[in-house]
Structure 1
Amino acid sequence: MTAEGQPVPAGPADVLRAVAVGLLNLSGLGLGYALLRRWAGLVLCLVATAVLLVVALPADADGVSGKVVAAYAVFLVLAAVHGAFRGLRRPLSWPPKSPVAVVLGLVLLAVPVGGVVLYNGAKDDATQKMLLDRLATADHLVQVSKAQPFGSSKFEYGKALATYRDLYDHHAGSRAAKRVPASLTAYYSAVGATYDQKKYCDAVEPLQYLRTVPAHFDKKALGTLATWPDDRLATSLYECGAQSLSQDPSSSTAETDFSTLLTTFPASPQAAKVEPAYRAAIDKAARELKGSDPCAATGTVRALDGSVAGLPGKQAGMADAFAKDAQRAAGYEESGTYACGVHQYKGGDFDTALTTINDFITRYPHDGHLALAKKIAIAAEVAQNEPAAGKHLPTLDSGGSIPMTFTNDSPDAVQILYTGQVTGSITIKGCSGCSVYATETDASAHACKSSSKNYAKKTLYLPAGTMYFLNKPVDDPSTTPASHTSTLRSDYVYTECAYTVHRDYGL
């Protein structure tokens, strides 16, 4: 329109003018429309640019949606094409010459280009900050977990490590990625903190965990941390095993830790100390066999025997030494079992002593104490029923001058155990014509007094003094045995009758 409100007459086609309008519209400010005095187009361009700025600012790590950017780019191209078409024949309000307008359009292209550059820079800063925040969160998680037991914080350590790995692998050029090696150093220190506190048993699991990290992490980032846990783990395994060996050899901890040490670090100085530790423990237990509690010492050497025999010493070159240690421990266990049975007998615990001595007799049939052990077993069994019989430890003495004849009026074979001045046992076969008596009174009146019965008999020659006897069935251990005490004098002849009353034996 002219000043008088008449339409502006179309001029001749001017390609440079069309290009200028198109370039000016590409700035996103609608200046091409402004120079053509097409105000609606100008407003539309400004609104579109304003909407983009609202969506894009402030810049963050995620940036603007690709769909929004694509839509805005399409809009600018359409505005440029449309403006160029309108400016082909429509004169500009300013500048008067088209080449000047083209230059102006080219200059103003710096607006969107500069905006993109600035936005990308802001986005990169936002991304760097986001990555640094992730790193800081992981670092904080590590420090918080450091104060907790490893078992309850293992998951958190795993989360932190996953963050470090993602930053290092997928954001290699970021400031956060460059700080990952330092964070890993703090990470290893936190996970292995119990080692520095000399809590060696607690340190084993976290140090074993750290040895798995190189399998999932770039070794370049780890550097010397890849082998950082090795010596510490070897030390922890040895110290924890040695502590267990000293405090409770029957525990499986020592064998487990030493086995892991010998197979994982067979050539380490710590592995070389395992065999001497066992040797010393066996020697200590052997000395205690002569102490106040030989039973506990025997249990110790028995546990050491089983433990050292199970150690994998081949890789460390200790198999022969371990075999010798096991042999020594087995020897001490043999002598200790006997000493334990004697100790229990002297302490009046005849039930346990009998079990221990019988175990000794069964396991060690060639031991030099076998003969006396059999005597102690007999005395302990008698003392179960007659405690006075166990006041003195039996000897290997036998025989005497006083005859004592035992007659069996029972249908079953019986065994007579005796102790006192001498200790031993005899077995008398059953009487084929005999039967079980109904009552004790009936047995007292008739046992061993029938001239028609062929009683089995045996005679012992015993020394003078108090003797304790126990009569029990040979084939029926559930039947209650009978005990009897006699004081033998010289120039006397003694007889005893064995019989059965309702499955209970009398003497």
Structure 2
Amino acid sequence: MAVLNLSCLGLGYLLLRHWASAALCWAATAGLLVAALPADADGVPQGVLLGYGAFLLLAAADGARRGLRARLSFGTAVRRLALPLAVVLLAVPAGGAVAYASAHADAREEARQQALLARLAAADELVAAHKGEAYATAQADYLKALEEYGAIGTKDAGSRAGKLVPARLDAYYEQVSAPYGKKSYCEALDPLKHLHTLPTLVDEGLLGDRPAGVAEPLAHSTYECGAAALGRSAEPKADGYFSELAADFPQSPYTAKVVPAVRDAVRARVGALTAAGEDRCTATEELRTLRSTAGSVEPLKQELEPVRSEADQGVRKGVFACGTQQFGKKQFAKAAETMDAYAKDYPDDARTPYARSVSIAARVAEEEPEAGKRLPPEDAPGGARMTLVISNDAPSPVDVLYTGPLTGKFTLKACGGCRKYDRVDTLRRGFKACAGASSKYPKVTLDLPAGTYHMLQQRLGTSALSTDQKVIRTKIEPGYTYTTCLYTSSLL
């Protein structure tokens, strides 16, 4: 009776005709089936199993107790078959338990598969959410997605989700490298660098040969960014891109294009120095930057040395061209500054004397625009020369800059015994400066070709920061000798 009750069907109670106890066994077994079926990943709660097991043991013990006391009317043959039959019937709950365990394992495996697929889908959503966005804004989510792809693809490679990871990686590469496909080379640099370094983040066996396919696009983008920055002084500069390219991809065909690209850029700017309508000052600044680029790409420094020398010659030519163009545009202060820099940087150059003349003419024209109608002659005119003697009747020195058919400058020392005239004195009839002995006054003698001259007097004022300036117009005609006297007067 005890063994029959262990069959979970209360058969011992049925033989004893103890209907209430049999019904209780059926109810308990039905309750277990309701709780256990269908089998899922969570299984049957442990409390239910422990309670049902305790109930079976109690039913078996009670069946044994009742069976020992009962008098049954069955024959001897039936009695002999009862125990073997009870043992055979134990296969019912045992088989059910085995079947349930198998179903439970299947359910748990399916739940694991679904969980992995859910993780994969979540990683896919992180990637898809940033389609078309800049890499910088998507980087954090990209890394999270990669972490999931790597974990699923390596630890659970045989799962349904794991078998989908390679396709997800292909899609990931395609999306991240999208700017390169659109020829947005500078925008593509950071995402391509990220893809190039993926072997440090994801198992190389999972990546396969994908990282190798990034090398050429990365080299190409780096070159194009550098080429676009040639001549640009603002960061990022071309030399940074080219140095990185030559260091990381020394055998790339794009590295071989660097020297020709820099050389072509230099020659284009040199050509702009003489082309009509070109800004020669801008071309000169770009040549300076290109000269720096040619000397800064360390891995290619030797190959770029001839290009650097060519750019250096271009800068020299460009500074002079810039100064003359500024003069022609009436930017006289800038022209004087540019030509002074030329004379300082290239003191032994054949054109330096003329650069100084242009600077002088520009300073005069800054005060008297009529003096800047045209550039001063580069060569001194021939023909007769007339004498102009200029004396200083003032207690302060004076610098004189003049331009016309001839351009130059000189300084007259202070007159030791001279004074500053009162304004009233200079207005009286018969007033004449330099009225004393000629030897008293510092003077300079100029031999000038005929023509109109503009002379700028620059006399240091009472303050070290102030300068009195005055422009006078002088016409020199053939066959005459000229004298002029410079003096100072008060305002009253």
TM range (shorter): 0.7 to 0.9
Instruction: Confirm or deny: 8 A CA contact 1:464 1:489 kept in the other structure.
Output: yes
2:458 pairs with 1:472: yes
Task: Please say if residues 39 and 100 of structure 2, whose CA atoms lie closer than 8 Å, have aligned partners that are also in contact.
Answer: no
Pairing 1:78–2:54 present: yes
* 1:490-505 to 2 correspondences below 5 Å: 490-501=478-489
| Cα deviation code 1:334-366 (max 9, x no counterpart) | 111001111222333222211211111122222
Q: Distance in 2 between matches of 1:390 and 1:217?
A: 70
Counterpart contact for 1:443–1:499, Cα < 8 Å: no
1: distance between equivalents of 2:224 and 2:46? Answer: 66
Who is 1:406 aligned against?
390
Match among 277, 281, 286 for residue 265 of structure 2: 281
1:371 aligns with 2:359: no
Match of residue 114, structure 1, among 94, 99, 123? 99
Q: Is the 8 A contact 1:421 1:467 kept in 2?
A: yes
Contact 2:150 2:206 in 1 (8 A): no
In structure 2, what is the Cα distance between the partners aligned to 1:19 and 1:447? 151
* Equivalent of 2:412 in 407, 428, 436: 428
Name the residue aligned to 1:173: 158
- Measured in 2, the distance between the counterparts of 1:215 and 1:325 equals 39
| Structure 1 SS opposite 2:380 | coil
State, as a whole percentage, how many aligned pairs show the same letter. Answer: 34
User: 2:476 maps to which residue?
Assistant: 488
2:303 is aligned, of 321, 326, 336, to 321
TM superposition shift of 1:176: 0.7
**Deviation string, structure 1 residues 219-264 (Cα, Å, up to 9, x no partner):** 1110001222111111111123223438x57663433322221222
Shift of 1:463: 2.0
Which residue, out of 245, 249, 264, partners 2:230?
245
Match of 1:182 in 2: 167
Determine which of 21, 25, 28 is the counterpart of 1:45: 28
1:371-417 per-position Cα deviation (integer Å, ceiling 9, x unaligned) = 11111111111111222222332234289632222222333221111
Contact 2:294 2:301 in 1 (8 A): no
User: In the TM superposition, what is the alpha-carbon distance from 1:87 to its structure 2 partner?
Assistant: 3.1
Aligned to 1:59: 40
Q: TM-score, normalised by structure 2?
A: 0.85
Q: In structure 2, what residue type is equivalent to 1:70?
A: Q
Q: Secondary structure at the match of 1:234?
A: helix
1:33 touches 1:41 (CA, 8 Å); kept in 2? no
Deviates more, 1:367-376 or 1:257-266: 257-266
How big is the alpha-carbon RMSD for the aligned residues of Structure 1 and Structure 2? 3.1
The one-letter code matched in structure 1 to 2:111 is A
Partner of 2:207: 222
**Structure 1 pair 34–479 and aligned structure 2 pair: CA distance change class (3 A):** farther
Question: What displacement does 1:485 show?
Answer: 0.6
* Matches for 1:238-317 after TM superposition, within 5 Å: 238-245=223-230, 252-292=236-276, 293=278, 294-313=280-299
Question: Which residue number in structure 2 is paired with residue 212 of structure 1?
Answer: 197
CA contact (8 A) 2:434 2:441 kept: no
Query: Which residue matches 2:401?
Result: 417
Partners of 1:205 and 1:297 lie apart in 2 by: 31
Range 82-91 or range 217-226, more displaced: 82-91
Change (3 A) 1:125 1:502: farther
Distance in 2, Cα, partners of 1:150 & 1:370: 53
**1:459 equivalent in alignment to 2:448:** no
Equivalent-residue separation in structure 2 for 1:74 and 1:402 (angstroms): 131
Q: How many residues are paired up?
A: 471
SS at match of 1:406: strand
Distance 1:241 1:156 in 2: 29
Alpha-carbon distance between aligned partners in 2 of 1:172 and 1:33, rounded to the nearest angstrom? 54
Alignment partners' CA distance in 2, 1:415 and 1:233 = 62
1:40 CA drift (Å): 7.8
**Runs of 5+ in structure 1 lacking a partner?**
1-16
CA separation of 1:20/1:50 partners in 2, compared to 1, >3 Å: closer, same or farther? closer
Amino acid at match of 2:458: K
Structure 1 letter corresponding to 2:248: T
The aligned amino acid for 1:103 is: V
Measured at CA, do residues 496 and 113 of structure 1 come closer, stay the same or move farther in structure 2, by a change above 3 Å? same
Shift of the alpha carbon at 1:436?
A: 4.2
**Distance of aligned partners of 1:289 and 1:31 in 2 relative to their CA distance in 1, 3 Å threshold:** farther
Alignment gaps of 5+ in structure 2: none
How far the C-alpha of 1:141 sits from its partner, in A, is 4.4
Q: In structure 2, what is the Cα distance between the partners aligned to 1:411 and 1:483?
A: 20
CA distance in 2 between counterparts of 1:442 and 1:31 reads 149
d(CA) in 2 for partners of 1:263 and 1:31? Answer: 86
Change over 3 Å in CA distance of 1:69–1:34 after alignment to 2: farther
Match of 1:200 among 173, 185, 189: 185
Q: Which amino acid aligns with 1:483?
A: V
Structure 1 pair 499/477, CA: closer, same or farther in 2 (3 Å)?
farther
When normalised by structure 1's length, the TM-score is: 0.83
Distance in structure 2 (CA, Å) of the matches to 1:464 and 1:425? 17
Deviation at 1:419, TM superposition (A): 1.1
Q: How far did 1:34 drift?
A: 6.8
Match of 2:84 in 1: 99
For residues 35 and 283 of structure 1, the distance between their equivalents in structure 2, rounded to whole angstroms, comes to 113
Instruction: State how far apart, in whole Å, the 2-side matches of 1:58 and 1:414 are.
Output: 111
1:15-64 C-alpha deviation (Å, 9 max, x unpaired): xx54554x424xxx7777777743585267347525733xx86735xx35
Residue pairs, 1:112-191, within 5 angstroms: 112-191=97-176
Kindly provide the amino acid, as one letter, of the partner of residue 59 in structure 1: D
